[in-house]
Amino acid sequence: MQVIVYDCRRGEVIDLTTGLVLEDHIVDYGPEWRSYKPQLRRGEPLRHSKPRYLAELKGFIPRIVIEDAEWILRKLKLGYGRAQVAAAVIYASKRMGIPIDEKLVMEKLDITKGKVLKYYRWILVELGSPDVDKLIIARIIATLSNMNVAHRAIEVIKFYRKAREILQARSPRVLAAACIVKVLGISIAEASKAMGTSTTSVREVLQQLEHMEADGN
């Protein structure tokens, strides 16, 4: 039985049964805005002892994004002010591939984009680029392993990378589900459930991919 894993630190897909690296340099880990460091003093006392503003976002921001944002705030000891919370939520949504209305977040917290950007850039400096793709690739491999078709992971990943270059505005999770459908020929419902997205969105992406293939021919 072939066991495929993804090493997110090295960007490599590895076959554990043979030890072979099946694919490398899957994700570009180049720095994004890392040359910028806002003037934040790490020793400053936190102004907010409770995640009050995170609670205000519950209901229209997915719970998993809220939880990840809270982890970011605690890890970096940024506090729980409006700007910090907005920046952490936006970063969390990007690295999890879950699109949110960033403008609505700032309106809800009554904070300006400039103040949010200050902390967002700081988070980028500390944690690096959100790296949505490495999480999606890991999920693709896990999904294919559960379907007992791990040997086709490279094929799906390569198709996903190509689709990402063309359809950058689409959700990575939706693209991944569509790629699984295209390569494996499974149902839209099954792929959508595996990647945690809607069948409607996947169907729309499949139509776009078909149109592009038709234009290419």
Residues above pLDDT 70, as percent of the chain: 74
Instruction: Please provide the DSSP assignment of 35-86 as one string.
Output: T------TTSPPS-SS-HHHHHHBTTB-HHHHHHHHHHHHHHT--S-HHHHH
Q: How far apart are CA 48 and CA 91, in angstroms?
A: 20
The residues near 51 (Cβ < 8 Å, ≥ 6 apart) are 70, 73, 80, 85
Tokens describing residue 43: 């020793």
Give the mean model confidence (pLDDT) for residues 114-142.
84
Within the chain, how many helices (H) and strands (E) appear? Answer: 10, 3
- Percent of the chain at pLDDT > 90 equals 29
Residues 6+ apart with CB under 8 A from 2: 15, 17, 150, 151
Is pTM beyond 0.85? Reply is no
Q: Mention every residue, 6+ apart, whose C-beta is less than 8 A from residue 107.
A: none
Distances (CA, A) of 209 to 27, 181, 200, 214: 22, 11, 14, 9
Q: What are the structural domains of the chain?
A: 52-127 (1.10.472.10), 132-216 (1.10.472)
112's tokens: 């300006």
**Do residues 140 and 176 touch, judged by C-beta distance below 8 A?**
yes
Average pLDDT of the residues in 51-76: 86
- Strand, helix or coil for residue 23: strand
Predicted confidence band of residue 217 (pLDDT cuts 50, 70, 90)? low
What's at 84, amino acid-wise?
Q
CA neighbor of 38 nearest in space, from 127, 129, 117, 128: 117
Interval 107-118: pLDDT, tens? 999 999 999 999
Cα–Cα distance for residue pair 217/211, rounded to 1 Å: 10
How does pLDDT run across 149-203, given as a tens digit for each residue?
A: 888 888 898 898 888 888 877 888 899 999 999 999 999 999 999 888 899 999 9
